[in-house]
Amino acid sequence: MTYKLGIPDEEFIRGKVPMTKQEVRILTIVKARLDEDSVVVDVGAGTGSISVEMALQAPKGMVYAIEKKNAALDLINKNCVKFGVENVEIIAAEAPGGMERLPELDAAVIGGSGNYLEVILDIIDSKLKPGGRIVLNCITLQTLNTAMVYMKTHHAYSYEIIQVQVSRYSQIGRYDMAKAENPIFIVTCTKNEENIDEED
Amino acid sequence: MTYKLGIPDEEFIRGKVPMTKQEVRILTIVKARLDEDSVVVDVGAGTGSISVEMALQAPKGMVYAIEKKNAALDLINKNCVKFGVENVEIIAAEAPGGMERLPELDAAVIGGSGNYLEVILDIIDSKLKPGGRIVLNCITLQTLNTAMVYMKTHHAYSYEIIQVQVSRYSQIGRYDMAKAENPIFIVTCTKNEENIDEED
Amino acid sequence: MTYKLGIPDEEFIRGKVPMTKQEVRILTIVKARLDEDSVVVDVGAGTGSISVEMALQAPKGMVYAIEKKNAALDLINKNCVKFGVENVEIIAAEAPGGMERLPELDAAVIGGSGNYLEVILDIIDSKLKPGGRIVLNCITLQTLNTAMVYMKTHHAYSYEIIQVQVSRYSQIGRYDMAKAENPIFIVTCTKNEENIDEED
Amino acid sequence: MTYKLGIPDEEFIRGKVPMTKQEVRILTIVKARLDEDSVVVDVGAGTGSISVEMALQAPKGMVYAIEKKNAALDLINKNCVKFGVENVEIIAAEAPGGMERLPELDAAVIGGSGNYLEVILDIIDSKLKPGGRIVLNCITLQTLNTAMVYMKTHHAYSYEIIQVQVSRYSQIGRYDMAKAENPIFIVTCTKNEENIDEED
């Protein structure tokens, strides 16, 4: 069996670790614009659902999955095995810990950043190729605001902010009943191809 | 202490019975356009939160709260006592049961209708004054569709359909994190003032 | 004819000035928790739709409508006349201009604040009674963030942030088609009853 | 230059024909689960944005784009040329017109169906392989309801209904301001692999 982008949520092994839902995962990965040989980092990898799907999209590339929680690290590993993915390197650290050794990057996905988002963005910026992308999934207003302010003041980047709200209809007897998923802001940042002075 | 429209959810006694959330309750009651002496029915009253707030808006009127579940009936009663409301008459029945004895109505709110929505609408229609309103909160596509089809084929009514999605931000440490409430369709039906033949 | 809360949008005279939509107007006013004698300010009053509805809710009180644009000032005036409202005082100024002469306030609604939100909040804070409310309608992330940071650092206040998304279904031939209204953040800030030191 | 899934909206030539927005296009195509050799039909192809992206995902397959409006047919053609796509066959017809000659299908996308959705679904069903998928984008409650009822009564299918609401933040001066896109229901129907009697 082969896996395409859009693995259903229930196929991932997840325990009690929160997981990005299918539709947000799809949009996040598509907006990262991976090639088959892309080198990417997944900061705050959680269950590894995004890392696994990125690894399948970039079979000749490499995904670095950074995660601090032991329970989650175990899930990332199990999901890589389940989906036959061999190009995910798991880094057991709280970002920005463990990030200095990352190679040059084609893209970065940030799902969880704790209190260190600016430092994490600085490190990613130092490694991201021109034309590369940073895609953030923001569930708090603080993360959203930090990302937005960062991109407004780093002129090497253009950015897009969307908010996505998905409701899923459960089939209960003869009824189809709405169940909302939490809204999420997806911030997609593109590093300009040319050199541009970054500060005002 | 006096109560105005917009009682916070946590002030109602609710147990495990699902409750219409504050914002949807506010919009539902405002769209019913009550006067101080309005006579209204609340079909599928649940915890009684809508009945209580309508009773406070219509202190010289009467609210008939129809509910079939014993646990909910007890909550309606407790909430009426808590908020000092004496103009709610509780009807322990599964609608349309118990509805024939309703008097002429200024408005009707339908929060839960089981499988009998069309019959319930027929009875309400037979009792609703010209200019009166029926406001439905629909959480399933089936209820929404039945209400819409009913109003499209009963030309004495004009209707408005809106969908409302509220997300509430929880304050967790220094973060404000979105938590979605389920989307709801609010169908507001106005009975025309003049006589109009109801069937095509 | 009397007017209740929830005047339909199309009844206001509006020209090309943007207007808060009915559902957001209802929620904003209910969350301001007005009494019949409340004294309130409406900062960035636009067409005056919120001022008019607040004036109708507080017939023995007073609404101060601050607005800088000439076209909008004219609309506020026309809407007050149309709805027979005599307790709106229009202040032609760009807030915080014109705010120093405001009396003690029971509530404030901020629909538009330009670049001066913090100063505006400081002035309102200096005039707002304990237990009073400030309700902000935020359509930009910057306004939302400024309001949130202000309330996090002024401990005399507790606050609630919700985001409301309304879609309205147009009846086109036999179809009912969704048309989204822009999402809005409603920030409701309550000044504590007791004296609390405001700074950490 | 190569094209990946997720072409920005502004890269398509579109005139005044309504176009599915990028995020909905991505989710629709991913949920159709195309292979490189998939044979698919796009009913109500509009500008051709979905046809073009499906053709790029299935370079060894074939996309049949059915569209009745002349202005749209011209756009489909222009977009195929712009994106270098040679595996789209345009059928100038109002579906179900022109559908009988379709070959066996791996997937179908329905963006517009006029009044004939049931007949269109019957024809697609007669040509869809076991395991194939039908993905509908529904902007009206009628289309949603017809699709749902069809799938509830055709037991060869399981289905998923989601509603997606995207808001896009415009960068206006120093502000980021929300602009809602219309909500859309995406109904994804999967034909069971095994033979199952279709009627109760």
Asked if the structure places residue C5 within a domain, the reply is no
Using the Cβ of D148 and the Cβ atoms of chain B, whether some distance falls under 8 Å is answered with yes
DSSP D24-87: HHHHHHHHHT--TT-EEEEES-TTSHHHHHHHHH-TTSEEEEEE--HHHHHHHHHHHHHTT---
Q: What is the mean pLDDT of residues D121-150?
A: 97
Q: What's residue B199's pLDDT? A: 46
Q: How many domains does chain A have?
A: 1
Using the Cβ of B179 and the Cβ atoms of chain A, whether some distance falls under 8 Å is answered with yes
Using the Cβ of B182 and the Cβ atoms of chain D, whether some distance falls under 8 Å is answered with no
Using the Cβ of C163 and the Cβ atoms of chain D, whether some distance falls under 8 Å is answered with no
Q: Residue A197: pLDDT above 60?
A: no
Q: What is the mean pLDDT of residues B95-118?
A: 94
* Chain D interface, best mutation among C168, C175, C184, C185, by max D CB count within 10 A: C175
- Decide which of B82 and D195 is more confident: B82
Tokens representing B45 are: 């009253």
For residue A182, give the chain C residue with the closest CA: C163
Instruction: Compute the nearest-CA separation of D6 from chain B (Å).
Output: 27
Q: Residue C200: pLDDT above 50?
A: no
When CB atoms are compared, the residue of B141, B177, B180 closest to A140 is B177
Using the Cβ of B1 and the Cβ atoms of chain A, whether some distance falls under 8 Å is answered with no
Contact present, B41 and B133 (Cβ < 8 Å): no
Residue C55 and residue D142: Cα distance in Å, rounded? 41
For residue B149, give the chain D residue with the closest CA: D142
Tell me which residue of D101, D104, D106, D108 sits closest to D38, measured CA to CA.
D106
Q: What's residue C195's pLDDT? A: 56
> Running DSSP on this structure, what letter comes out for residue C173?
T
When CB atoms are compared, the residue of B5, B148, B166 closest to C162 is B166
* Chain C interface, best mutation among B164, B189, B193, by max C CB count within 10 A: B164
Instruction: Compute the nearest-CA separation of A12 from chain D (Å).
Output: 17
Q: What's residue D189's pLDDT? A: 98
Contact present, C159 and C165 (Cβ < 8 Å): no
Touching B (3+ Cβ pairs <8 A), the chains are A, C, D
- The pLDDT confidence band at residue B200, using thresholds 50, 70 and 90, is very low
Q: What is the mean pLDDT of residues B112-135?
A: 95
B32 C-beta neighbours (distance < 10 Å), count: 24
Question: What are the C-alpha distances in Å from C26 to residues B24, B82, C5, D83?
Answer: 11, 26, 7, 48
Q: pLDDT tens digits for B78-92?
A: 999 999 999 999 999
Percent share of chain D, pLDDT over 90? 90
Which residues of B fall within a CB distance of 8 Å from D163? 183
Asked if the structure places residue A156 within a domain, the reply is yes
Q: Residue A1: pLDDT above 90?
A: no
Q: pLDDT tens digits for B51-81?
A: 999 999 999 999 999 999 999 999 999 999 9
| CB–CB contact C183 D183 (8 Å) | no
Q: pLDDT tens digits for D54-87?
A: 999 999 999 999 999 999 999 999 999 999 999 9
A33 C-beta neighbours (distance < 10 Å), count: 19
| CB–CB contact C174 D142 (8 Å) | yes
Q: pLDDT tens digits for A43-85?
A: 999 999 999 999 999 999 999 999 999 999 999 999 999 999 9
How would you classify the pairing of strands D157-172 and D175-180? antiparallel
Percent share of chain A, pLDDT over 90? 90
- Over its C-alpha atoms, chain D yields an Rg (Å, rounded) of 17
- Decide which of D181 and C198 is more confident: D181
Partner B, chain C 8-67, Cβ-Cβ below 8 Å: 23, 26-27, 30-31, 33-35
Asked if the structure places residue C10 within a domain, the reply is no
> Taking all residues of chain D, what is their mean pLDDT, rounded to a whole number?
94
Contact present, A191 and A31 (Cβ < 8 Å): no
Return the H-helix or E-strand segment holding D109: strand D105-110
Q: What's residue D195's pLDDT? A: 56
Dihedral pair phi/psi, residue C192, rounded to 5°: -60, 150
Asked if the structure places residue D12 within a domain, the reply is no
Residue A71 and residue C38: Cα distance in Å, rounded? 55
Tell me which residue of D42, D52, D93 sits closest to D75, measured CA to CA.
D52
Q: Residue C146: pLDDT above 90?
A: yes
Q: Which of B100-114, B133-147, C53-67 has the lowest mean pLDDT?
A: B100-114
B104 C-beta neighbours (distance < 10 Å), count: 10
Q: Residue B198: pLDDT above 80?
A: no
For residue C163, give the chain B residue with the closest CA: B167
Q: What is the mean pLDDT of residues A111-130?
A: 94
Asked if the structure places residue A8 within a domain, the reply is no
Touching C (3+ Cβ pairs <8 A), the chains are A, B, D
Which residues of D fall within a CB distance of 8 Å from C169? 141
| CB–CB contact D4 A30 (8 Å) | yes
Asked if the structure places residue B200 within a domain, the reply is no
| Residue C29 structural domain | 18-191
Find all residues with CB under 8 Å of A9, minimum gap 6, and list them. Answer: A19, A21, A22, A49
Using the Cβ of A167 and the Cβ atoms of chain B, whether some distance falls under 8 Å is answered with yes
- The pLDDT confidence band at residue D41, using thresholds 50, 70 and 90, is very high
When CB atoms are compared, the residue of C145, C148, C165 closest to A165 is C165
Which residues of B fall within a CB distance of 8 Å from D183? 163
Which residues of A fall within a CB distance of 8 Å from C183? 163
State the CATH number of the domain containing residue A59.
3.40.50.150
| CB–CB contact A161 C141 (8 Å) | yes
Using the Cβ of B165 and the Cβ atoms of chain A, whether some distance falls under 8 Å is answered with yes
When CB atoms are compared, the residue of A162, A165, A169 closest to D168 is A162
Q: What is the mean pLDDT of residues C158-182?
A: 97
Q: pLDDT tens digits for A146-172?
A: 999 999 999 999 999 999 999 999 999
Which residues of C fall within a CB distance of 8 Å from D180? 165, 180-183
Q: What's residue A112's pLDDT? A: 78
| CB–CB contact D160 A168 (8 Å) | yes
Residue C128 and residue D74: Cα distance in Å, rounded? 62
- The pLDDT confidence band at residue B113, using thresholds 50, 70 and 90, is confident
Which residues of D fall within a CB distance of 8 Å from A169? 160-163
For residue C183, give the chain A residue with the closest CA: A163
> Taking all residues of chain A, what is their mean pLDDT, rounded to a whole number?
94
Touching D (3+ Cβ pairs <8 A), the chains are A, B, C
Asked if the structure places residue C196 within a domain, the reply is no
Q: pLDDT tens digits for D163-193?
A: 999 999 999 999 999 999 999 999 999 999 8
Which residues of C fall within a CB distance of 8 Å from D143? 175
Find all residues with CB under 8 Å of A166, minimum gap 6, and list them. Answer: A21, A23, A24, A180, A181, D162, D163, D164, D165
Residue D111 and residue B71: Cα distance in Å, rounded? 46
* Chain C interface, best mutation among B1, B3, B5, B189, by max C CB count within 10 A: B5
Instruction: Compute the nearest-CA separation of B100 from chain A (Å).
Output: 27
Q: pLDDT tens digits for D103-114?
A: 999 999 999 777
When CB atoms are compared, the residue of A30, A35, A164 closest to D166 is A164
Asked if the structure places residue A197 within a domain, the reply is no
Q: pLDDT tens digits for B133-162?
A: 999 999 999 999 999 999 999 999 999 999
- The pLDDT confidence band at residue A135, using thresholds 50, 70 and 90, is very high
Q: Residue C2: pLDDT above 80?
A: no
Three-state DSSP class for C54?
A: helix
- The pLDDT confidence band at residue B112, using thresholds 50, 70 and 90, is confident
Q: What's residue C18's pLDDT? A: 86
